[in-house]
Amino acid sequence: MSNTTHQFDTVILGGGIAGLWLLSLLRKQGYEAILLEKKGLGSEQTLASQGMIHGGIKYSLAGAMTGASESIADMPLRWRSCLEGTDSVNLEGVSVLSEAYYMFSDARLSSKLTAFFGSKAIEGRVSSVPTADYPEIFQSPSFGGLLYKLNDLVLDTRSLITHLHHQLKDYIFEGNVSFEHTNGRITHLQLDDGLTVSAETYVLAAGKGNGELIEDLGLEVPMQLRPLHQVVVKGRALPDLFAHAVTLRSADKPRITFTTHSTADTKAWYLGGQLAESGVARNEAEQIEFAKTELAAIMPWIDYSGCEFSTFRIDRAEAGGETLLRPDTPYVRRHGNVVVCWPTKLTLAPMMGDMFMKLMAGPKAGLAKPPNLPRASIGSSPWE
Task: Identify the domain containing residue 236 by its residue range.
Answer: 66-155+225-319
Q: Which CATH number goes with the domain that contains 121?
A: 3.30.9
Evaluate whether residue 57 is within a structural domain: no
One domain, residues 315 and 327: no
Indicate the Cα dihedral angle 147, 150, 156, 161, nearest 10°: -150
Say yes or no: 170 and 229 in one domain.
no
Mark whether 92 and 200 lie in a shared domain: no
Please check whether residue 45 is in contact with residue 16, taking contact to mean a CB–CB distance below 8 angstroms: yes
Residues 326 and 191 in one domain: yes
N-terminal to C-terminal alpha carbon distance within the chain = 37
- 215 shares its domain with 237: no
Please report the pLDDT score of residue 55 as a whole number.
Answer: 83
Full-model pTM: 0.92
Any domain includes 372: no
Q: Are residues 199 and 249 in the same domain?
A: no
Same domain, residue pair 88 and 199: no
Residue 366 burial (CB count, 10 A):
6
Element holding 383 (H helix, E strand): none
**Within-domain flag for 217:** yes
pLDDT for the residue 251: 57
Both 299 and 337 in one domain: the answer is no
Q: Same structural domain for residues 168 and 302?
A: no
For residue 242, the model assigns a pLDDT of 98
Are residues 64 and 122 in contact, defined by beta-carbon separation less than 8 angstroms?
Answer: no
What is the spatial distance between Cα 136 and Cα 51, in angstroms, rounded to a whole number? Answer: 22
**Rounded to the nearest 10 degrees, what angle do helices 75-83 and 349-357 cross at?**
90
Question: How does pLDDT run along the chain (384 residues), one tens digit per residue?
Answer: 456 788 999 999 999 999 999 999 999 999 999 999 998 999 989 999 999 998 877 665 544 455 555 668 889 999 999 999 999 999 999 999 999 999 998 666 645 555 555 544 455 678 889 999 999 999 999 998 889 899 899 999 999 999 999 999 999 999 889 999 988 899 999 987 788 999 999 999 999 999 999 999 999 999 999 999 999 999 999 999 999 998 766 556 899 999 999 988 899 999 999 999 999 999 999 999 999 999 999 999 999 999 999 999 999 999 987 665 677 899 999 999 999 999 999 999 999 999 999 999 888 755 556 677 788 889 999 988
Is 144 domain-assigned?
yes
Q: How far apart are CA 151 and CA 153, in angstroms?
A: 7
Is 89 within a domain?
yes
Q: Are residues 35 and 79 in the same domain?
A: no
Q: Is residue 29 part of a domain?
A: yes
Residue 78 lies in a domain: yes
**Would you call 187 exposed, middle or buried from its count of C-beta atoms within 10 A (0-12, 13-18, 19+)?**
exposed
Q: What are 262-265's contacts with CB under 8 Å, separation 24+?
A: 263/234, 263/383, 263/384, 265/236
- 313 within 8 A of 206, measured Cβ to Cβ: no
- Residue 210 domain-assigned? yes
Residues 88, 136: one domain?
yes
**Domain boundary residue among 300, 319, 338?**
319
CATH number for 214: 3.50.50.60
Together in a domain, 184 and 239:
no
How many folded domains does the chain comprise? 2
Which residues are CB-contacts of 293 (< 8 A; sequence separation ≥ 6)? none
Boundary of a domain, candidates 319, 334, 368: 319
